[in-house]
Amino acid sequence: PEAITVQELANRMAEKGADLVKALFNMGMMVTVNQTIDQDTAELLVTEFGHNIERVSASDIDIDTSTDVDTEESLKSRPPVVAIMGHVDHGKTSLLDALRGTDVVRGEAGGITQHIGAYQIKTKSGDQITVLDTPGHAAFTQMRMRGANVTDIVILVVAADDGIMPQTIEAINHTKAAGVPMIVAINKCDKEDANPQKVRERLLEHEIIVEEMSGDVQDVEVSAKTGKGLDELIDKILLQAELMELKANPDRPAEATVIEAKLDKGKGPVATVLVNRGTLKRGDIFVVGTESGRVRAMNDDKGRQVKEAGPSTPVEVLGLGGVPMAGDTLTVVESEQRAREVSAWRQEQATAKRTAMAPASLDTMFSALA
């Protein structure tokens, strides 16, 4: 059953909310404009006010961007979004730090880093690369399960002294399932017992044929500790990105994906989003998952306030009505009323879904107990 707030119904009928409250009172219902009424009551009210009933469905209310395709001419190249995966202790965190250390902007700015879930580096050649800094397969699969494919390129880290391990194989499988191209970073090549050739050979068993073995998967020997091979790794990321012709239209209302969200004691609900297309601006009104909001402030990964963020840029957004979920889409809309309408609709849908699902999960619980 679909529910609607009195105010929304009033808006849709172009009537005053107070008049609807009055009519409801006469029908024996004490409600305020912010309360929801069920569909039958709503339909009764609509006829009462002499309007025609039009049953609404998701396509009438919710945002549909599938038909909103950008023209070829509007597309401009955007930085690649890179994720680092690999077995525990093979050097994911070390490589993330080492890559961050190559940022020429960070060098100039004095190097204050903020962990917002992703960062951007500017390479010596002036190109940008966005790096998701939550390593781990759980985050990757969770995002994918929610339909969010933000990663363009996976960097598979394999320690040259340890070789292919269970989580290496898991990462290979996730990457293949996502259809994302991979670059193999053979790490810890500074170590005496490093055997990068053995890594390449063992990768064949998982149908990963690297360039050194005449395949087309790029590989590079690195050391997160000494910095060896980092420039080469960056070049390979940029080359891969070029092959993929990554593009987005920056000149339109923004659409972004939540990569991290939390309730901050001082700032309230905050979310780090990665802009997919368009440019997110301070003051923009948006819907994100079941929440709505207005961009009050945005911070980049260097802790600087920014006024706008274009495609592939990660920013921490302040001004949300609640905490969204990782993988949720943020969409900029034209008015606060529209934002509230969509978020209210989605909240109702979510509640209805939860209610509908409850008996099934109870059944499962009882059968599990039996």
Helices (H), 221-335: 230-244
DSSP alpha helix (H) spans, the chain? 6-13, 17-26, 39-48, 58-61, 92-100, 104-109, 137-145, 166-178, 196-204, 230-244, 336-369
**CB-side exposure of 169: number of CA atoms within 13 Å?**
7
Q: Which stretch binds ligand GDP (CB under 6 A): 222-230, 231-239, 242-250, 304-312?
A: 222-230
The binder of 113, among Mg ion, ligand GDP, none, by C-beta within 5 to 8 A per type, is: none
Residues in 119-138 at the binding interface with ligand GDP, rule: CB under 6 A: 135
Instruction: Tell me if 190 is assigned to a ligand binding site.
Output: yes
Q: Which of 39, 74, 77, 93 binds Mg ion (CB under 5 A)?
A: 93
Q: Report which of 214, 212, 82 is spatially closest to residue 160, judged by C-alpha positions.
A: 212
Q: Known binder of ligand: residue 51?
A: no
Q: Name which of 84 and 254 has its Cβ closer to Mg ion.
A: 84
Q: Does 102 bind ligand GDP (CB under 6 A)?
A: no
Is 174 annotated to bind a ligand? Reply is no
166 is in an annotated binding site: no
Whose tokens are 């929440």? That residue is 291
Q: Which residue, 89 or 264, is less far from ligand GDP as judged by CB?
A: 89
Q: Residue 10: which of 38, 36, 333, 18 has the closest Cα?
A: 18
Residue 174 neighbours by CB distance under 10 Å? 18
Min separation Cβ 94 and ligand GDP, Å: 3
Question: CA 121, CA 119: separation in Å to the nearest integer?
Answer: 7
| Contacting ligand GDP within 61-90 (CB under 6 A) | 86, 88-90
Q: Is 223 in the site for ligand GDP (CB under 6 A)?
A: yes
Figure out which of the listed residues 51, 146, 191, 282 binds ligand GDP, where binding follows CB under 6 A: 191
In the complex with ligand GDP, the residue whose CB is nearer, 35 or 93, is: 93
Does position 190 interact with ligand GDP (CB under 6 A)? The reply is yes
Helix axes 17-26, 39-48, angle to 10 degrees: 100
Residue carrying the six token digits 């989003």: 273
Binding site for Mg ion (CB under 5 A): 92-93
Known binding-site positions: 86-93, 133-137, 187-190
Residue ranges in contact with ligand GDP by CB under 6 A:
86, 88-94, 135, 187-188, 190-191, 223-225
